Amino acid sequence: MEDWKIKISVLWLFYVVTWLLVLIFSLFAPGTIDEIRAGKGVMGEPITGGYLLASAIILLIPLVMAVLSLTLKDSLNRWANITAGIVFTAFSIFNSLGPEALALDLSVFAYMHLIDISMVVVTALIVWYAGKSKQKA
């Protein structure tokens, strides 16, 4: 198995774990459990079937990409990872610079910003490794 495919697969797994860390850590913020009991998500969105479905898709895509990174042929693998990597990089940047994130008290939510930055770096590395893989082919 080629080295770049393994690196990309591990980076996708890292992305999912960091996303789960954000979710878990957010539960420790004062009032979060009460908001969840009231039917509101982490950033105040109503928890609906659509909300849960979207959350599941966001978590499943990187897991699927981790598997596909190890199984797809090089050209398709490269483009799938570049495309998904760009989409998730943009998604991570939006999450870290969006109005809700910027309204957070940095002293309380510094961990979220640290994790958001690591998610941007990880997805950018996915795009970089996938693009660089063409040079080795």
Instruction: Quick: pLDDT tens for 5-52.
Output: 999 999 999 999 998 988 888 788 778 888 888 988 766 778 899 989
Distance of alpha carbon 72 from alpha carbon 49, whole angstroms: 32
Tokens found for residue 132: 């660089």
Tokens found for residue 75: 């050209």
Residue whose structure tokens are 């991570």: 92
- Taking residue 11's Cβ as centre, other Cβ atoms within 10 Å add up to 24
CA angle 66, 72, 75 (to 5 degrees): 115
pTM for the structure as a whole: 0.85
The domains of the chain are located at: 3-136
Phi, psi of 94 (to 5 degrees): -60, -40
Report pLDDT digits (tens) over 100-127. Answer: 666 666 666 677 778 888 999 999 999 9
